[in-house]
A and B are shown apart, each in its own frame.
Chain A
Amino acid sequence: MEVPILKQRNYLIASVQAVLTDQDLVTLRDRLVAQVGRFRSDGVILDVTGLDVMDSFSVRTLRDMAHMIRLRGADTVIVGIQPEVAFSMVQLGLSLEGVPTALDLEEGLAYLDARTKRARPSVK
């Protein structure tokens, strides 16, 4: 299943609605990393509300993706991790080290707004 990537102002939003195979995830990672450059985006929001399982591969892929996007000059925030998923991830020792997380899309947008305002003060 291909995950739709929406461009919203200077952000990209990818919303995962169903369970993804490993290949889907890798494809998503590559597309996002490529599109960040094409659209000159400041931030990426990855909404994983639809995921009810996170294994070590998906966590590592998500973390790598965030770091790659960082290197391309944008911030990533992962939103909508379900409580049960969050706790089982922690118990399995799969932490998203260094990747910001937020409750939902709205919070993610607020986080990115705050980040970009601080990093790039608007030119008057």
Chain B
Amino acid sequence: MSDNRNKNRDRQLTGEPRSALHDESHAEVLRELVAHLRQNRTQLREVWASRIMGARFLTAMTNEEILAECSSVYDNYLGALETGSIEALEAYARDLSERIIPRGVETHEVVGIVLLLRDVLARSLFSKYGQDLQVLTRVLDAYEPAANRIATTVAVGFVQERERIIRQQQEAIRELSTPVLAVRERLLILPIIGILDPQRARQLTEQLLRGIRVNRARVVVMDLTGVPTVDAAVANHLVQTVEAARLVGADVIVTGLAPELAQTLVTIGVDLGKMATVGDLQGGIEEAEKLLGYKVVPSDESAEQQIR
């Protein structure tokens, strides 16, 4: 978009249609100004780094780290300006994002830093070509679109990387949130930890019913020790889950009900005849073993004494 606008401005200024020759001259100008920026690399980089620190960006990194990153970003930036290819820069932006996101660098910092570099370089061009307005216009026409493209690429790369990480973490949380574990043949436990929202409750039901089929479970111990409280809708959902589990052929023992949770269940008027509850997980597993006909005995007497 901005590229097009620049082209239009170009056309107005020169009063002649855009041609291949023009592209050539653009590339030539870019080559020239990249050479200039390379020459002044050390000095410009210093200016840039000090402005980054002045703007209080990248506070999570040490000054040495900032300087090191600045050098490589600077070189990559010039490379992209020179070749006009943003693929290498895209890869670099991804790689950079991967490194700095875990350190808590924010989007506004990354965008700010790239725009600072753009500004530093533009100022340097101004001071070099400032005397001749026509040359300056040509230089800027070549520089601005390329610089904009680079800034966009870096910002988009950073945001994409962040989104990728968020997606990955959501996936991990989803999988972690409701494990269905087989403790013995035909006995599953379902430890639930944390806040139960409607979506998670639904997922829990799905995984439990599927788990019952896959493991051919007869008894399930649903441990709610880690659930501080639930609202009426979710409590209702839990009761329904217990009932549904019975329909597919498994008894559910609910353990570790917190006082608030017990109150919610009583308030919604749960039928206690349908829901077996035991105080804690240990009791629940013992009860389940009894239902399944297991009897746990110490393997020898000395071990029994050791426990006591």
Q: Given A90-B243, A95-B243, are A83 and B206 neighbors across the interface (CB < 8 Å)? A: yes
In the complex, what residue of chain B is closest to A84 when comparing beta carbons?
B209
Least distance between B276 CB and chain A CB atoms (Å): 15
A81 contacts partner chain B, Cβ-Cβ < 8 Å: yes
Q: Given A83-B206, A90-B240, are A107 and B246 neighbors across the interface (CB < 8 Å)? A: no
Task: Determine the chain A residues whose CB is within 8 A of the CB of B218 once the complex forms.
Answer: 103, 107
Q: Given A83-B209, A103-B216, A107-B218, are A89 and B249 neighbors across the interface (CB < 8 Å)? A: no
Q: Which of A74-95 contact B (CB under 8 A)?
A: 79, 81-87, 89-91, 95
A86/B244 in contact, CB under 8 A: yes
A104 contacts partner chain B, Cβ-Cβ < 8 Å: yes
Out of B206, B246, B249, name the residue touching A104 (CB < 8 Å): B249
A interface footprint on B29-48 (CB within 8 Å = 1, 0 otherwise): 00000000000000000000
A102 contacts partner chain B, Cβ-Cβ < 8 Å: yes
In the complex, what residue of chain B is closest to A85 when comparing beta carbons?
B247
Number of interface residues, chain B, beta carbon within 8 A: 19
B249/A87 in contact, CB under 8 A: no
Q: Given A83-B206, A90-B240, A107-B218, are A96 and B212 neighbors across the interface (CB < 8 Å)? A: no
Task: Determine the chain A residues whose CB is within 8 A of the CB of B241 once the complex forms.
Answer: 87, 90
Q: Given A103-B216, A107-B216, A107-B218, are A83 and B244 neighbors across the interface (CB < 8 Å)? A: yes
Instruction: Give the CA-CA distance A81 to B247 in the complex, in Å.
Output: 6
A87/B216 in contact, CB under 8 A: no
A101 contacts partner chain B, Cβ-Cβ < 8 Å: yes
Q: Given A87-B205, A87-B240, A91-B240, are A103 and B212 neighbors across the interface (CB < 8 Å)? A: yes
Instruction: Give the CA-CA distance A84 to B210 in the complex, in Å.
Output: 9
Out of B213, B217, B247, name the residue touching A89 (CB < 8 Å): B247
B244/A90 in contact, CB under 8 A: yes
Q: Which of A43-60 contact B (CB under 8 A)?
A: none
A101/B244 in contact, CB under 8 A: no
Out of B205, B210, B245, B249, name the residue touching A102 (CB < 8 Å): B249
Task: Determine the chain B residues whose CB is within 8 A of the CB of A87 once the complex forms.
Answer: 205, 209, 240-241, 244
Residues of B near any A CB (own CB < 8 A): 205-206, 209-210, 212-213, 216-218, 240-241, 243-250
List 14 A-B residue pairs with CB atoms under 8 Å apart, sorted by A's residue number. Answer: A83-B210, A83-B248, A84-B209, A86-B209, A86-B244, A87-B240, A90-B243, A90-B244, A96-B247, A101-B249, A103-B212, A103-B250, A104-B249, A107-B218
Residues of A near any B CB (own CB < 8 A): 79, 81-87, 89-91, 95-96, 101-104, 107
